[in-house]
Amino acid sequence: MSKRVSNELIVKDVVIVGAGPAGCSAALALKGSGKKVLLVDKSVFPRNKTCGDSVPAHALLGLENLVPGIYDEFLATVKSVSFRTSALVFPKGQRLFFSWPLPGYVTERRDFDGFLLKKVTETTDTQIITGLKITNYTRVDDLILLSANNPDGTSGPEFLTRMVIAADGAPSLAARKLAGIVPDQGAYGQAVRCYFNGVKGLDEGIELVFYHPDFFPGYFWLFPMADGRVNAGFGMPEISRRKLKKSLASLFSQFRDQHPVVREMLENAEPIGDLRGGMVPFAMKRQIWSGPGFMLTGDAASMVDPVSGDGIMQAVRSGMLAGIAAGTGNYTLYDQQVEKFLWKRMESQRRAIRLMTGFPHLIRIAAWLGRYHWIRNRFQRWIW
Ligand SMILES: Cc1cc2nc3c(=O)[nH]c(=O)nc-3n(C[C@H](O)[C@H](O)[C@H](O)COP(=O)(O)OP(=O)(O)OC[C@H]3O[C@@H](n4cnc5c(N)ncnc54)[C@H](O)[C@@H]3O)c2cc1C
């Protein structure tokens, strides 16, 4: 899908930067709006994205209105493993189970994101350019001029538009250049993941998240995948990592060695590929979501759930909301809808993570109380 583009000026009504879940959802939401839309990504697809690969059904169900049948098509064509239960596993082996009303799917991001981009190609008139990196944003009257580089570093075409939908992930160049946002270490985390073969003791349909007091509020995960591989990862708020003065890679190894259950499960497991990391921009403080000529979506708008570390569903929702607002030209709608459907929903998550970080013993009390069904259900409703 990649192509080298000659140096020229391309004028579009809307330019979407980034073809991950947020960018593709925005393009799908602009379908039928009559706008001339460009979707541009620096990567050549299919591309992978460092992730836990856990995609909630909500993310796909949200797109059903735009692309009827997308959920069933995903199930029929994209390799995934479904789960309906998550277990929080304590060092002595105690497990606290949470059951979800809708399933989640562990699917490699190469496949999931590739599927979404294919739907954009099939169902919209969006012009798609991959392998082209946006390098700068300049205001020209009430328009925005985007500069770009080809994969070989030479300068590519320029784009002129009234509206940029920033879906360029984290850290976002668009958020910095258009909204003046610089990442705040109190509001983001970092995570690493590696694929493994030969992990022992997995249960079908259960995602495992591991707690250890020495690493809290960081946590480790093991998510079983369709081909017998397991996505193993560790994530932590950046501010906590700095206090420990360790790299995420060494914390990943230490957690694996210090948590008896993780150690045993990974004892004879074979890593496949390298440990890879990425930034996780939590929805911890209200930031700018839009301004003259731009809307920020997904990770570019710092929308990751600070408790679970999930950001795909918010990327899809915010992308859709931005696409709808750009399609109607009613841009003020975007902030209102983000506030209502995403930011308010995150309030309980922010409260939960602040409380758990401030009083780390609470998690052990919750584990003890979690033996009682009704308390566990209340706890689950409160944080999810
Ligand atoms: C280790 C790790 C584990 C995670 N696990 C989970 C999980 O299990 N479940 C979950 O829901 N969330 C998880 N997340 C968060 C999740 O990955 C993100 O929230 C999600 O990918 C956000 O989607 P997005 O579309 O906003 O950005 P992205 O998916 O990051 O897509 C951004 C796109 O923009 C492109 N781009 C970037 N800069 C430019 C540029 N200058 N020019 C052109 N294109 C550009 C990139 O190539 C990329 O394709 C995890 C994150 C990490 C780091």
- Do the two domains 9-53+108-182+283-345 and 84-100+188-281 of this chain adopt the same fold? no
pLDDT at position 292 over 70: yes
For the stretch 328-358, pLDDT in tens is 988 889 999 999 999 988 888 888 887 777 7
Cα(169) to centroid of ligand 1, in Å? 5
**Out of 3-17, 138-152, 281-295, which region has the weakest mean confidence (pLDDT)?**
3-17
Model confidence pLDDT, tens digit, residues 27-58: 999 999 999 999 999 999 999 999 999 999 99
Give the pLDDT score at 186. 81
Mean pLDDT of the chain: 92
Report H helices in 204-284: 238-244, 248-258, 260-265
296 lines ligand 1 (CB under 6 A): no
CATH assignment, 9-53+108-182+283-345: 3.50.50.60
Residue given tokens 């309030």 in the structure block: 347
User: Residue 24 Cα, ligand 1 centroid: separation in angstroms?
Assistant: 12
Say if residue 382's pLDDT is above 60. Answer: no
Atom of ligand 1 nearest to the CA of 53: 8
Model confidence at 2, in pLDDT bands (50, 70, 90)? very low
Domain ranges across the chain: 9-53+108-182+283-345, 84-100+188-281
What is the C-alpha to C-alpha distance for residues 165 and 193, in angstroms, rounded to an integer? 28
Kindly state the average pLDDT of the residues 286-298. Answer: 96
Q: Which phi and psi angles does 295 have, rounded to 5°?
A: -135, 135
pLDDT at 361 over 90: no
Contact criterion met (CB below 8 Å) for 298 and 315:
yes
**Burial of residue 235 (number of CB atoms within 10 Å: 0-12, 13-18, 19+):** buried
pLDDT in tens, 309-335: 999 999 999 999 999 999 998 888 999
Asked if the model's pLDDT at residue 5 lies above 60, the reply is: no
What contacts 127, CB < 8 A, 6 or more positions away?
12, 36, 37, 38, 39
| The pLDDT of residue 373 | 63
The percent of residues above 90 in pLDDT, for the chain, comes to 82
Kindly report the protein residue whose alpha carbon is nearest to atom 52 of ligand 1: 51
Give the integer Cα–Cα distance in Å for 156 and 165: 20
Q: Is 281 in the pocket of ligand 1 (CB under 6 A)?
A: no
Other CB atoms within a 10 A radius of the CB of residue 64 amount to 12
Predicted confidence band of residue 368 (pLDDT cuts 50, 70, 90): low
Give the separation between CA 333 and CA 339, rounded to whole angstroms. Answer: 10
Cα separations in angstroms, 180 against 22, 115, 141, 325: 20, 33, 18, 22
- CATH of segment(s) 84-100+188-281: 3.30.9.100
Q: pLDDT above 70 covers what percent of the chain?
A: 92
Give pLDDT tens digits for 220-274: 999 999 999 999 999 999 999 999 999 999 999 999 999 999 999 999 999 999 9
Q: In 154-190, which positions are buried (b, 16+ CB within 10 angstroms) versus exposed (e)?
A: eebbbbebbbbbbbbbbbbbbbebbbebebeeebbbb
Q: What distance in Å separates the CA atoms of residue 75 and residue 81, rounded to the nearest whole number?
A: 10
Distance 22 CA to ligand 1 centre (A): 9
The first and second tokens of residue 111, run together, are 């496949």
| Torsion angle defined by CA atoms of residues 272, 273, 275 and 277, in that order, rounded to the nearest 10 degrees | -120
In the predicted model, what is the mean pLDDT of residues 72-80?
97
Average pLDDT over residues 86-113: 94
Place of tokens 């000529």: 293
> How far, in Å, is the centroid of ligand 1 from the Cα of 313?
11
Pick the closest to residue 195 from 229, 165, 162 (CA basis): 229
Give pLDDT, residue 8: 87
Residue appearing with tokens 């060092």? 91
Instruction: Please report the pLDDT score of residue 69 as a whole number.
Output: 97
pLDDT digits (tens, 9 = 90+) for 140-194: 999 999 999 998 999 999 999 999 999 999 999 999 999 999 988 788 999 999 9
The H or E element spanning position 78 is: none
HSE at residue 128, side-chain half, CA atoms within 13 A, is: 25
Q: Who's near 312: CB < 8 A, 6+ residues apart?
A: 21, 51, 54, 55, 56, 59
